[in-house]
Amino acid sequence: MDLKYSPEEETFRAEVRAFFDAELPTDIRTKLQLERRISKDDMVRWQKILFRKGWGAVNWPKSFGGTGWDIVQQHIFEEERADACAPPQNPFSLKMLAPVMQTFGNAAQQEYFLPRILSGEDWWCQGYSEPGSGSDLASLRTSAVRQGDHYIVNGQKTWNTMGQYADWIFCLVRTSSEGRQQQGISFLLIDMKSPGITVRPIIMLDGEHEINDIFFDNVQVPVQNLIGEENKGWTYAKFLLTHERSGNAGIGACKRALKKLKEIAAEQKSNGRPLIEDSRFRDRIALVEMELMALEITNLRVLSATAKEQRALGPEVSVLKIKGSEIIQQLAELKMHALGHDALPYVREALDLAWVGDPLLSAHYRSYAPPISGQYFNQRKTTIYAGSTEIQKNIISQMILGL
Amino acid sequence: MDLKYSPEEETFRAEVRAFFDAELPTDIRTKLQLERRISKDDMVRWQKILFRKGWGAVNWPKSFGGTGWDIVQQHIFEEERADACAPPQNPFSLKMLAPVMQTFGNAAQQEYFLPRILSGEDWWCQGYSEPGSGSDLASLRTSAVRQGDHYIVNGQKTWNTMGQYADWIFCLVRTSSEGRQQQGISFLLIDMKSPGITVRPIIMLDGEHEINDIFFDNVQVPVQNLIGEENKGWTYAKFLLTHERSGNAGIGACKRALKKLKEIAAEQKSNGRPLIEDSRFRDRIALVEMELMALEITNLRVLSATAKEQRALGPEVSVLKIKGSEIIQQLAELKMHALGHDALPYVREALDLAWVGDPLLSAHYRSYAPPISGQYFNQRKTTIYAGSTEIQKNIISQMILGL
Amino acid sequence: MEFNYSEEQLALQDTLQRFISRDYDFDKRRKFSVSSLGYSAEAWSQFADLGLLALPLPEDYGGLGGNAVDIMLVMEQFGQGLLLEPYLSTVVICGGLISDAASEPMKQQLLPQIAAGKVKIGLAGYEAAGRYDLSYVACTAQESGASRRLSGRKTVVLDGPSADCFLVSARSSGGIGDRDGISLFLVPRDAKGLTIAAYPTQSGARAADLLLENVIVGSEALIGAPSRALPIIERAVDLGVAALCAEAVGIINALNQATLNYLKTRKQFGVAIGTFQALKHKMADMLIAAEQSRSMAIIAAVHADSHDAAERHRAASAAKAYIGQAGRLVGQHAVQMHGGMGVVDELIVSHYFKRLTMIDLSFGDADYHLASFSDTLRPAS
Amino acid sequence: MEFNYSEEQLALQDTLQRFISRDYDFDKRRKFSVSSLGYSAEAWSQFADLGLLALPLPEDYGGLGGNAVDIMLVMEQFGQGLLLEPYLSTVVICGGLISDAASEPMKQQLLPQIAAGKVKIGLAGYEAAGRYDLSYVACTAQESGASRRLSGRKTVVLDGPSADCFLVSARSSGGIGDRDGISLFLVPRDAKGLTIAAYPTQSGARAADLLLENVIVGSEALIGAPSRALPIIERAVDLGVAALCAEAVGIINALNQATLNYLKTRKQFGVAIGTFQALKHKMADMLIAAEQSRSMAIIAAVHADSHDAAERHRAASAAKAYIGQAGRLVGQHAVQMHGGMGVVDELIVSHYFKRLTMIDLSFGDADYHLASFSDTLRPAS
């Protein structure tokens, strides 16, 4: 038993870190350091930089232009990314759609779409959930009716993240009402510029616009945009969901948030002394840090076992998803509590890096304070989306415990 | 809104306290103060003293020789009892059987049994649970077959508390297998001296003998020992269970345990200083004390509402049972943690007041330490018996929330 | 012992409930929140007409002589309706403080005005580096003849933007953390040298930071004895804490009701999600938390009028700490059980959740009050 | 990175598992526990034959030169089987301490004996008033010529009744709580002036309190530098803590297995209770706790051999604190889900529960180690 990374892995980490130091644009880095808003443009700029380096898709096989990195390398890359305050890449195209397309898509689809994802040319979003179908995804009702060379799509998708920027959307649609719900579902690629698509913003509880309702009114979709076979979409969907869950432990993001929490607790004062010297608050930090220490090893144990056994990630990722989301929520909550009264102000403009701030507001309010309460509110979603904690526990009790 | 007791109630409290000061035998008081074993004899002695005072049954109407006290007076009596370190009375006869007998029993039964309970002459135990029937009580299988003037009883009861001392046992038995499980149950009074009864001790995890298995092998029970009607026993059983749950908040016992915890935390040392000066441990005490402050008021709110509306206690007692059992468990756990290493020794003899102790053992081990770890282990039962916490939550969600 | 509201109290509760459903539904509340004022001026004058603003003030000064239990009843409705008006600041805390400790002329001048809804006042008692400690006062009050010159910063003054004047704590003597040496002054918003940085809060109300640069006030502006103001400020804040606890209880019950309805109506896998035992038991936990929180709010209210400062503060801290934790449990469960619908701005659920969170963070969070309650368990040595 | 045991380690694990199922089932364990010795002398000599006792000791002294991960593997099985033998005291802690710091002759004398199962040693490091603080040493070591006179009390010396000798910490200089001034001495059980009060423990093993009255020891009894023994004691205790964490992980997994079986077989209301979602989700929480605890035990074991004292102690404290909490959750849930069967002496479940509880209370409970981990987060100032 040995927790040390191999010399090769350490060299790899150094290379990644050096690259981030050299290539990550300062304005983007600063935005992430101060946890301010980042734009689609920021993310695309970064994707193009990674693409030039040949790191456009860290989870793809070389054959499709990916890095072909093993699962530990991907973990190291993600850890360094978070630590370097580099933006995440678009997960919908790289982590969700691409594996499906590479496994079930046809040559034409692979040749056209994958390079455009890699280069940052196309921005993809996801069309899964519907108002009536959250945890019970298979009950979806958006219909696609075959008419000649097209499907005519009607219905509504919701909880669509960053669709307001998207060139394309991949959707689960109902192409048959025969048999079990799961049997009538197909996987369609839809051009967001198609007539009949309306994007309606959904404002989150933190006041930000990151998700949308998307309405389809007789939208024409060429049949060649069907992935795999008609009515086989549920198979592809489940395949995608496992890939989505992988890496959901978010160790890198948690470590970054813990670091930030400690900085804030050292800055904030309680009765004139640094808050972190208050043993009660320090204990709260300690409890989360211990949980994170454990999860980092649990995560690596799962990854290395999976790698060793050459298999896809199994239900054990539910453990990672549950713990990872709890930890990131607890860290967000502690950051907020570290602020005390200073968590109360809500200054939307302050979330833009450009904002210079009212000189009257206490100094820290012009540095780390503005995004923090909003983050706590926003992070409540992490135990809800991508399979709520309740769903994950159902998966564990059924697929691991056999209950 | 007013939390103060009325002058009459305060006078009553003073009277109760004075009585305990004057009449409670010192040896019994000391046993409870030091949380040592008490014997059946101690409890019977105390019952006779209460009986002489006319306080033999605080929850009975005057017509049956009870005190006729209202629900608040009963609460005050119980609080003072715990605080004075007086023993509890036998709940099986006074709180469970008696109300059933007074409501559904016939005159002959009432005239024969109730006075003997009051005077401490008869010791009763309960025959409800069976190995296969815990939470699912109605599935009980112990059978009573009518033969002339007798029922012939066969089967096994378990989790029988203090049956080793009992003169009588009241049992739920199956007199019919027709219709729904609940419809074939009857309520029988059985003389423990009857041939065919075997009592087998069950040792609890703390090493103590407080419960038993009771086996019935063709036990003859005169038909006049049937309560109410044959096959109507389930109605009486449910009636009894509500009465059992009432007062399960155990405020008095919790307050007494909290007091003890604080004494121990003031005695025990951490690095030479009193443990209670350690803010981390003190916070643990504070959290339970707050919970208890709240429960005391919640309990009184329930009692006074019930009294005002002249009704029996409803499902809200489930709230009291859940919280009361959690609090008494947390207090037992904190008492154990206050001991640190000193919680490890297990000296059975030390639980007897007579034991003088090995002078070598640290002094406190001859005062408060011996029973404490065992109490923590033993108290785990409180969230299991009389309707487990899970059952109580089912009751709340069904009967209060309508889920 | 009596745990129910009196007839008059129930009548008032009923009036408030009807007012909210008629004039203060969630859509209206949303508009008030984003209006320039940040609340409804109309509602405020209606509160004056209803006698709400006079309720806790002494009868000799145009008040109705109500007590902390009356305030509890009102604040519970403020919670249910997520009302934005500066009742806590102006009526409960500053009204209480002035009734308690102000000079006769100041009472004559201000209390009838508060009752009539003509004057609003904010408490400027906290400073950034002091966190929740009212004795941390770096803001200075220098004598210059009969008057005082105030200089320093005050942070997150609730309802500050709409206040006509402020009660400002400043140090006449002693070191920054000393309990002695703190004085309290009435400062009009237009005072020379006073700058106000206004902003919205996370729960849709308004607050402000204050900068005082040589603000001159006369001796008539003094409230309570010079250098001896901390106890009266603490008393008013305990009263405010009890009121906040009642508001939280109102929200907790509203959230439980909303969640229960959602569990009964939202279907997944073909059945109402309220049929899943894991959610049933969580809902049961929420009910228990609500009942225990109400008991704590009662304790805080009943002791808030007590003149035994230690007992009063102990009750307030226990209640605030307990309800801070219970509110966290209920708020997080309610959002979680609403799934996606719990994290969008559209439904009131997320607004209840945010307000509960901000209540915990106001006037000392759960950990702060746990600490001050815990310290009372120390054996007097 | 490698998270699996090596081939040899797996072979050893397999041997131990077979040993337990053959010679140490629950009924046998019960007999050993109430025997006069309190454990199985036969098992102990088998451990010697299997090389378990030599495992972590240095090769130069008849040991096998194993590391903390080997100990982890062994202790995990000790947990699974609720083994009672004094492995932790004699081999892990005292064996480690002697290998680490004893004089050459003492190593020559004791280590081969330990490996052969001929000598058992207990650590007498704690005193009643010191709680979990190893620097709290009131027991005195007075110089008298070449020898020392030891006087004082030591509390809860694990496996003390069967120990042939003790490692006793005593103060040569400084105040009671000072880190400096503590020396460590080897004291035979028959030493004149030493009285041993033996008793069983709550988890079925044995322990003792020691009274030392002018116990004379020569300079050859000294372990490590005089007055400088605390760091070597702390290192050995960290090793013991890592071992206890592994034992706890063994118990946690055994409890989860037992509970899962019970959920699948116990029927109520006509169905297996494992079909109730509330219990399913609790069981899922227990699985998560077990996985996280294993990760923590690995961290503690891998760092236990580190010579960076701060890093080693930090890992040990984090693991002990985390596993203390996780063990509490698993133990209490397991008992609760077993209902009445969880609180009786008859089933092994309650014995696992009691052992987990006592592990938490040994060598510092969860709160103690949380505090010492938390203190490492203080910015160096």
B339 CB neighbours in chain D (<8 A) are 361
> 10 Å Cβ neighbour count for B132?
14
C157/C195 Cα distance (integer angstroms): 13
Q: Using DSSP, state whether D221 is helix, strand or coil.
A: helix
CB contact under 8 A, D295 and A285: no
Burial bucket for residue D327 (CB in 10 Å: 0-12, 13-18, 19+): buried
Please give, one letter per residue, the 3-state secondary structure of A246-298: CCCCCHHHHHHHHHHHHHHHHHCEECCEEHHHCHHHHHHHHHHHHHHHHHHHH
In Å, how far is B315's CA from the nearest CA of chain D?
A: 20
Strand A269-270 with C147-158, pairing: unpaired
A32-68 confidence digits (pLDDT tens) = 999 999 999 999 999 999 999 999 999 999 999 999 9
Contact call for residues B383 and B326 (beta carbons, < 8 A): yes
In a domain, A239, yes or no: no
D281 CB neighbours in chain C (<8 A) are 278
A279 CB neighbours in chain B (<8 A) are 279-280
Are residues B380 and B256 part of one domain? yes
Task: Using pLDDT thresholds of 50, 70 and 90, give the confidence band for residue C218.
Answer: very high
Tell me, what's the pLDDT at C334? 98
D19/D16 Cα distance (integer angstroms): 5
End residue of a domain, out of B231, B265, B287: B231
D153 CB neighbours in chain B (<8 A) are 362
Tell me, what's the pLDDT at A315? 87
Structural tokens at position D32? 């050993």
The count of C-alpha atoms lying within 13 angstroms of the C-alpha of C331, restricted to the half-sphere facing its C-beta, is 26
Residues across chain A: 403
Instruction: Find, among B60, B51, B44, the residue nearest to B19 by Cα.
Output: B51
Are residues B225 and B148 part of one domain? yes
A39/D322 Cα distance (integer angstroms): 40
B98-125 confidence digits (pLDDT tens) = 999 999 999 999 999 999 999 999 999 9
Residues of C contacting chain B (CB within 8 angstroms)? 1-5, 69, 72, 260, 263-264, 274-275, 277, 280-281, 283-285, 287-288, 291-296, 298-299, 301-302, 318, 321-322, 370-371, 373-375, 377-379
Q: Using DSSP, state whether A189 is helix, strand or coil.
A: strand
Are residues B275 and B157 part of one domain? no
**Bridge partners (DSSP) listed for residue A185:** A174
> 10 Å Cβ neighbour count for C18?
10
B208-229 confidence digits (pLDDT tens) = 999 999 999 999 999 999 999 9
Q: Is the pLDDT of residue C367 over 60?
A: yes
CB contact under 8 A, B269 and D132: no
Task: Using pLDDT thresholds of 50, 70 and 90, give the confidence band for residue B307.
Answer: confident
Are residues B142 and B46 part of one domain? no
Contact call for residues C338 and B247 (beta carbons, < 8 A): no
Q: Which residues of chain A have pLDDT under 50?
A: none
Contact call for residues B43 and B90 (beta carbons, < 8 A): yes
A280 CB neighbours in chain B (<8 A) are 279, 283
In a domain, A238, yes or no: no
Are residues B202 and B137 part of one domain? yes
Burial bucket for residue A38 (CB in 10 Å: 0-12, 13-18, 19+): middle
Average pLDDT, chain A: 93
Question: How many domains are there within chain B?
Answer: 3
C230/C224 Cα distance (integer angstroms): 9
> 10 Å Cβ neighbour count for D259?
26
CB contact under 8 A, A279 and B283: no
B212/B201 Cα distance (integer angstroms): 4
End residue of a domain, out of A203, A231, A259: A231
In a domain, A38, yes or no: yes
Tell me, what's the pLDDT at B1? 83
B157-176 confidence digits (pLDDT tens) = 999 999 999 999 999 999 99
C133-142 confidence digits (pLDDT tens) = 999 999 999 9
Identify the domain containing residue A35 by its residue range.
7-89
Q: Which residues contact D362 (CB under 8 A, 6 or more apart)?
A: B341, B344, D158, D244
Are residues A210 and A296 part of one domain? no
Task: Using pLDDT thresholds of 50, 70 and 90, give the confidence band for residue C257.
Answer: very high
Token pair 């025997």 is found at D35
In percent, the amount of chain C with pLDDT more than 90 equals 96
- Helices D41-50 and D7-23 sit at what angle, rounded to 10 degrees? 160
In a domain, A113, yes or no: no
Instruction: Find, among D324, D323, D341, the residue nearest to D261 by Cα.
Output: D341
Tell me, what's the pLDDT at A319? 95
Backbone angles phi, psi at D46, to 5 degrees: -65, -40
In percent, the amount of chain D with pLDDT more than 70 equals 99
Are residues B382 and B257 part of one domain? yes
Tell me, what's the pLDDT at B47? 98
Instruction: Find, among A318, A315, A319, the residue nearest to A399 by Cα.
Output: A315
In Å, how far is D117's CA from the nearest CA of chain A?
A: 28
- Residues C279-297: what's their mean pLDDT? 98
Structural tokens at position A123? 């921005």
A136/B258 Cα distance (integer angstroms): 48
- CATH number for the domain that contains residue A389: 1.20.140.10
End residue of a domain, out of A178, A196, A231: A231
CA distances D226 to B16, D111, D183, Å, are 63, 21, 5
Are residues A274 and A184 part of one domain? no
Contact call for residues A127 and A157 (beta carbons, < 8 A): yes
B398/D75 Cα distance (integer angstroms): 46
For residue D92, the Cα-to-chain-centroid distance in whole angstroms is 8
Burial bucket for residue A8 (CB in 10 Å: 0-12, 13-18, 19+): exposed
Q: ∠ CA B318-B320-B324 to the nearest 5 degrees? A: 125
Helix intervals (H) in chain D: 7-23, 26-34, 41-50, 68-81, 87, 95-101, 104-115, 230-265, 277-304, 309-337, 348-361, 366-375
Are residues B134 and B46 part of one domain? no
Please, what's the b/e burial string for B80-96 (b: 16 or more CB within 10 A of its CB; e: otherwise)? bbbbbbbbbbbbbbbbb
Q: ∠ CA D167-D171-D175 to the nearest 5 degrees? A: 145
Chain A neighbors (3+ CB pairs < 8 Å): B, C, D
Task: Using pLDDT thresholds of 50, 70 and 90, give the confidence band for residue B306.
Answer: confident
Tell me, what's the pLDDT at A135? 77
D201/C74 Cα distance (integer angstroms): 57
Q: Is the pLDDT of residue B361 over 80?
A: no
- Helices D277-304 and A279-308 sit at what angle, rounded to 10 degrees? 90
Contact call for residues C225 and C303 (beta carbons, < 8 A): no
Tell me, what's the pLDDT at D266? 94
Q: Is the pLDDT of residue C381 over 60?
A: no
- Residues B171-191: what's their mean pLDDT? 95
Residue B353 amino acid letter: L
Instruction: Find, among A128, A383, A102, A308, the residue nearest to C343 by Cα.
Output: A383
CB contact under 8 A, B2 and C371: no
Structural tokens at position B16? 């109760």
Cross-chain CB nearest to B281 (options D343, D358, D367): D367
Chain D neighbors (3+ CB pairs < 8 Å): A, B, C
Q: Is the pLDDT of residue B303 over 90?
A: no
Query: What's the sign of the alpha-carbon dihedral A42, A45, A48, A50?
Result: negative
In a domain, B369, yes or no: yes
**Bridge partners (DSSP) listed for residue B362:** none
Report DSSP letters for B97-110, one per residue. Answer: IHHHHHHHS-HHHH
Tell me, what's the pLDDT at B3? 87
B282 CB neighbours in chain A (<8 A) are none
C365/C357 Cα distance (integer angstroms): 9
Tell me, what's the pLDDT at C26? 98
Residue of C nearest to A181 (CA): C269
**Bridge partners (DSSP) listed for residue D204:** none
Tell me, what's the pLDDT at B67? 97
The helix (run of H) or strand (run of E) holding residue A17 is: helix A7-23
Q: Using DSSP, state whether A123 is helix, strand or coil.
A: coil
Tell me, what's the pLDDT at A386? 86
Confirm or reject contact between D281 and chain C (CB < 8 A): yes
In a domain, B295, yes or no: yes
Tell me, what's the pLDDT at C1? 83
- CATH number for the domain that contains residue B179: 2.40.110.10
Tell me, what's the pLDDT at B242? 73
In a domain, A2, yes or no: no
D210/C264 Cα distance (integer angstroms): 64
Confirm or reject contact between C276 and chain D (CB < 8 A): yes
CA distances D302 to A297, D2, D239, D322, Å, are 12, 11, 10, 16
Are residues B284 and B320 part of one domain? yes
**pTM for the full model?**
0.96
Q: What is the pLDDT along chain D (381 residues), one digit of tens a residue?
A: 888 899 999 999 999 999 999 999 999 999 999 999 999 999 999 999 999 999 999 999 999 999 999 999 999 999 999 999 999 999 999 999 999 999 999 999 999 999 999 999 999 999 999 999 999 999 999 998 889 999 999 999 999 999 999 999 999 999 999 999 999 999 999 999 999 999 999 999 999 999 999 999 999 999 999 999 999 999 999 999 999 999 999 999 999 999 999 999 999 888 999 999 999 999 999 999 999 999 999 999 999 988 899 999 999 999 999 999 999 999 999 999 999 999 999 999 999 999 999 999 999 999 999 999 999 998 875
- Residues C231-246: what's their mean pLDDT? 98
Residues across chain B: 403
Helix and strand numbers, DSSP H then E, in chain B: 13, 10
Contact call for residues C95 and C236 (beta carbons, < 8 A): no
Residues of D contacting chain A (CB within 8 angstroms)? 1-5, 69, 72, 260, 263-264, 274-275, 277, 280-281, 283-285, 287-288, 291-296, 298-299, 301-302, 318, 321-322, 370-371, 373-375, 377-379
- Residues C251-269: what's their mean pLDDT? 96
DSSP one-letter code for B249: T
Are residues A203 and A268 part of one domain? no
Cross-chain CB nearest to A390 (options C278, C340, C361): C278
Strand D121-124 with D165-171, pairing: parallel
The backbone region for D247, taken as left when phi is positive above 0, alpha when psi lies in -120 to 50, beta otherwise, is alpha
In a domain, A75, yes or no: yes
Residue B331 amino acid letter: L
Are residues B272 and B349 part of one domain? yes
C347/B53 Cα distance (integer angstroms): 62
Cross-chain CB nearest to A345 (options C156, C211, C345): C156
